[in-house]
């Protein structure tokens, strides 16, 4: 036993790495002194083994600071933390519970009436992620919100952009955004994937694109065959290396060509694009279109592939969906090769050509002069009023 008394107070003495450590337990009760001595021995041994020490009083703000310092943050989590920190920053992690999350949800709703449950759920998901990281690193004992239940979300409508709307948008978008839009519609790539795509990963000979950087590990290795119009567009400003989609102020007002290619080569020289939100909104406004998010182009690409008759597992392989709940047990046995992917893109091109032809025919019909009788008392053959059709 390493305990001994000094002036009625129990002390303990232990050897650590050949050095003697003597400390007071601060109590005259032997049983308490034994507990303190055992805990201190374990603590010193953990420190010697470089095991992270748990901080029972750490606040969520301090934990978040370590989370960011370790490089675990993403732009998305930083955006969510802007709402979380004013409420949770000064609260010790051990005091965070589901009652506090309900209070946080109420305050968020009170500050903004139009806020949807899905938005607050995204906040709380980041809160839970930070706490999970703290528990995994041994900074806190456990995640107090490990069993947090998020509020049920209503399914929202996902608008799909028609070919007519696509043509209107391209006609009113600057050159650099035109290219990004075409890439999104023909590949289903995410915005971040498009903006970080590199020329080194575009194979013009085989007409395929290797995704340079993806949100998910599965998407990092996927390949996407190029449609004819996307291949021609990329070839028109082809470079040997570097970021594909860049911005040059001198070409911001260049009109979109009708055939989807042939922009000036100098438009590709410029700065890497980080954000397209402002330009996207302005282009929609100039085109007079309904509200679309840029992410809706991804939904549009998936829908077009579906309408073209492409099977779900092949669509997932092209788009890069990684949600496990949408996969079935047969997927693990499905081996989708390049031939199947190219066949899917060929189907998409046939579908797009049919849509463009149908749109052109409809426009030509609406612009043609009417030869219907002008007598208002004489009924028309189809039983409708003699009014021109809108394109």
Domain residue spans of the chain = 3-48, 60-136, 163-323+334-363
> How far is Cα 169 from Cα 284, in angstroms, rounded to an integer?
6
- 19 has which bridge partners? 16
Q: What is the pLDDT along the chain (391 residues), one digit of tens a residue?
A: 578 888 888 888 877 767 787 888 888 888 888 888 887 777 777 666 655 555 668 899 999 999 998 888 788 888 999 999 999 999 999 899 989 999 999 999 998 878 888 889 999 999 999 999 998 888 888 888 888 888 887 777 789 999 999 999 999 999 999 999 999 999 999 999 999 999 999 999 999 999 988 876 655 678 999 999 999 999 999 999 999 999 877 544 444 444 444 343 334 457 889 889 999 999 999 999 999 999 999 999 999 999 999 999 999 999 887 554 444 444 444 567 889 999 999 999 999 999 999 998 887 777 666 555 444 444 434 333 333 333 2
Tell me how crowded residue 110 is: count the other CB atoms within 10 A of its CB.
Answer: 9
* Residue 130, pLDDT score: 93
Q: Report the C-alpha gap between 268 and 238 in whole angstroms.
A: 8
Q: Output the pLDDT for position 261.
A: 42
- Report the Cα–Cα distance between both ends of the chain, in Å, rounded: 94
- Residue 72: per-residue pLDDT: 82
- Per-residue 3-state assignment (H helix, E strand, C coil) for the chain: CCEEEECCEEEEEEEECCEEEEEECCCCCHHHHHHHHHHHHHHHHHHHCCCCCCCCCCEHHHHHHHHHHCCCCCHHHHHHHHHHHHHHCCCEHHHCCHHHHHHHHHHHHHHCCCCCHHHHHHHHHHHHHHHHHHHHCCCCCCCCCCCCCCCCCCCCCCCCCCHHHHHHHHHCCCHHHHHHHHHHHHHCCCHHHHHCCEHHHEECCCCEEECCCCCCHHHHCCEEECCHHHHHHHHHCCCCCCECCEECHHHCCCCCCCCCCCCCHHHHCCEECCCCHHHHHHHHHHHCCCCCCCCHHHHHHHHHHHHCCCCHHHHHHHHCCCCHHHCCHHHHHCCCCHHHHHHHHHHHHHHHHHHHHHHHHHHHHHHCCCCCCCCCCCCCCCCCCCCCCCC
Tokens read off for 176: 């650099």
Question: How big is the CA angle at 156 (ends 354 and 323), to the nearest 5 degrees?
Answer: 80
* C-alpha span between 249 and 136 (Å, rounded): 47
Residues contacting residue 340 through CB under 8 Å, at least 6 positions apart: 314
pTM for this predicted structure: 0.62
Measured distance CA(230)–CA(182) in Å, rounded: 7
Which residues on neighbouring strands pair with residue 272, listed in sequence order?
246
**Dihedral angle over CA of 253, 259, 261, 267, nearest 10:** -10
**Using only C-alpha atoms, what is the Rg of the chain?**
31
Q: How many CB atoms lie within 10 A of CB 292?
A: 18
Number of neighbouring beta carbons within 10 Å of residue 21: 14
Output the CA–CA distances (angstroms, integers) from residue 297 to 80, 119, 189, 200, in the order listed: 24, 21, 9, 25
| CATH of range 163-323+334-363; options 3.40.109.10, 1.10.10.60, 1.10.110.30, 1.10.443.10 | 1.10.443.10
**Which two structure tokens, joined as six digits, stand for 295?**
């992410």
Tell me what pLDDT residue 388 has: 35
Q: Which tokens sit at 64?
A: 């978040």
Q: Could you give the CA distance from residue 1 to residue 56 in angstroms, rounded to a whole number?
A: 29
């Amino acid at each position: 036993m390493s305990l001994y008394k000094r002036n009625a107070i129990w002390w303990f003495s232990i050897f650590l790495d050949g050095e003697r450590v003597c400390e007071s337990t601060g109590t005259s009760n032997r049983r308490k002194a034994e507990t303190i001595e055992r805990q201190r021995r374990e603590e010193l041994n953990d420190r010697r083994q470089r095991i992270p020490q748990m901080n029972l009083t750490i606040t969520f703000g301090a934990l978040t600071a370590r989370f960011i310092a370790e490089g675990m943050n993403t732009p998305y989590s930083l955006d969510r933390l802007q709402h979380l920190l004013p409420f949770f920053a000064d609260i010790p992690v051990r005091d965070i519970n589901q009652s506090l999350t309900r209070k946080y949800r109420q305050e968020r709703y009170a500050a903004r009436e139009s806020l949807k449950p899905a938005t607050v759920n995204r906040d709380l998901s980041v809160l839970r992620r930070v706490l999970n990281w703290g528990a995994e690193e041994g900074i806190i004992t456990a995640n107090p919100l490990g069993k947090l239940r998020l509020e049920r979300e209503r399914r929202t409508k996902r608008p799909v952009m028609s070919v007519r709307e696509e043509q209107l948008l391209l006609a009113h978008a600057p050159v650099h955004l035109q290219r990004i839009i075409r890439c999104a519609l023909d590949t289903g790539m995410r915005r971040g994937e498009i903006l970080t795509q590199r020329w080194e990963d575009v194979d013009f000979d085989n007409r395929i694109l290797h995704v340079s950087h993806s949100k998910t590990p599965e998407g990092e290795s996927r390949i996407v065959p190029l449609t004819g119009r996307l291949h021609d567009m990329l070839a028109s400003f082809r470079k040997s290396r570097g970021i594909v989609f860049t911005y040059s102020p001198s070409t911001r007002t260049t009109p979109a060509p009708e055939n989807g290619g042939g922009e000036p080569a100098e438009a590709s020289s410029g700065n890497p694009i980080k954000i397209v939100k402002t330009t996207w909104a302005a282009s929609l406004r100039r085109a007079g279109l309904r509200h679309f998010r840029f992410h809706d182009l991804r939904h549009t690409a998936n829908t077009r592939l579906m309408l073209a008759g492409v099977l779900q597992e092949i669509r997932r392989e092209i788009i890069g969906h990684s949600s496990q709940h949408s996969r079935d047990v047969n997927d693990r046995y499905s081996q989708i090769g390049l031939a199947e992917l190219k066949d899917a893109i060929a189907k998409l091109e046939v579908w797009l050509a049919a849509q463009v032809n149908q749109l052109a025919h409809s426009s030509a019909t609406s612009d043609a002069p009417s030869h219907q009788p002008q007598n208002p008392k004489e009924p028309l053959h189809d039983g409708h009023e003699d009014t021109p059709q809108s394109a």
